[in-house]
Amino acid sequence: MAKITLEDVDYVAGLAHLTLNPETREAMARDLGSILEYIDQLERLDTSGVEPMMHVLDVTNVYREDTVGESLSQEDAFKNAPKTDGEYFLVPKILDGE
């Protein structure tokens, strides 16, 4: 099943918004290929009729009550912002459908 092509790497890098240099791109194809080949041993395992385990804790219905708590001060909200005018977090202009 595995065998990762450079196109596969480009596709997932696109999804993850990572830019790989040519060297890394090939190394990633190789590494992901060998890891996935190892992972493919799972194909041998019969899981028919087994429920997927989404949580190890058998707990349901954990909620918070609808009460308003404290928000951050403007100072704390923007403390780590790489670019801000003190009102907004700034980004390069967003184009429609981007």
Partner 1 sequence: MSAELFRLSAHETTARIRSGDTNAREVTESYLAHIESVEPKVDAYLDVWREPARARAEAIDAAIAAGQNPGPLAGVPVAIKDNLCTREGRTTCASKMLENFESPYDATVVEKLDAAGAVLLGKLNLDEFAMGSTNENSAVKVTRNPWDSDRVPGGSSGGAAACLAANEAAFTLGSDTGGSIRLPASFCGCLGMKPTYGRVSRYGLVAFASSLDQIGPFTKDAEDLALILAAIAGKDPRDATSADLPVPDYSSTMRDGVSGSRIGLPKEYFTDALDGEVGKQVDAALQALKGEGAELVEISLPHTEYAIAVYYIICTAEASSNLARFDGVRYGYRHPDAASVEDLYRLSKSEGFGLEVQRRILLGTYVLSSGYYDAYYLKAQKARGLLRRDFDEAFTRCDVIATPTSPTTAYKFGEKMDDPLQMYLGDIFTTSANLAGIPGLSMPCGLASNGMPVGLQLLGKPFDEAALIRTAYAYEKSGAPTLGPAPLG
Partner 2 sequence: MEYEPVIGLEVHVEINSRSKVFCACLNNFHSPPNSNVCPVCLGMPGVLPVLNVAMVDASMAVGLALNCTISRWSKMDRKHYFYPDLAKSYQISQYDLPLCHDGYLDIEVDGASKRVGITRAHMEEDTARNTHTIGGGISGVDFNRCGVPLLEIVTEPDIFSADEAFAYLTALKQILEYLNVSDCNMEEGSLRAEPNISVRPKGSTTLGVKTEVKNVASFSGVRKAIEFEIKRQVKALDSGEAVVQETRGWDADRGITVSQRVKESAHDYRYFPDPDLMPVVVDDAWEERIRQSLPELPQARKRRFREDLDLSEYDAGVVGMTKDLADYFDAAVVAGAPAKQAANWITGEILATLAERKSDITACKMKPEALASMIGLIGDGTISGTIAKELLPDLIESGGDPKAIVEERGLVQISDSAELEELAQAIIRDHPGPAQEFRDGNKKAIGFLVGQAMKATKGKGNPKLINQILTDALSQE
Q: Enumerate binding residues for partner 2 (CB under 8 A).
A: 11, 14-15, 17, 54-55, 57, 59-72, 74, 77-78, 85, 87-94, 96-98
Of 1 and 68, the one with the shorter C-beta distance to partner 1 is: 1
Instruction: Yes or no: say if 18 and 49 are a contact pair by the CB < 8 Å rule.
Output: no
Query: Which one of partner 1, partner 2, none is in contact with 9 (Cβ closer than 5 to 8 A by kind)?
Result: partner 1
Instruction: Yes or no: say if 6 and 21 are a contact pair by the CB < 8 Å rule.
Output: no
Of 51 and 66, the one with the shorter C-beta distance to partner 1 is: 51
6 binds partner 1 (CB under 8 A): no
CA distance linking residue 98 with residue 95, whole number of Å: 5
Of 12 and 35, the one with the shorter C-beta distance to partner 2 is: 12
Instruction: Yes or no: say if 78 and 84 are a contact pair by the CB < 8 Å rule.
Output: yes
Instruction: Yes or no: say if 68 and 29 are a contact pair by the CB < 8 Å rule.
Output: no
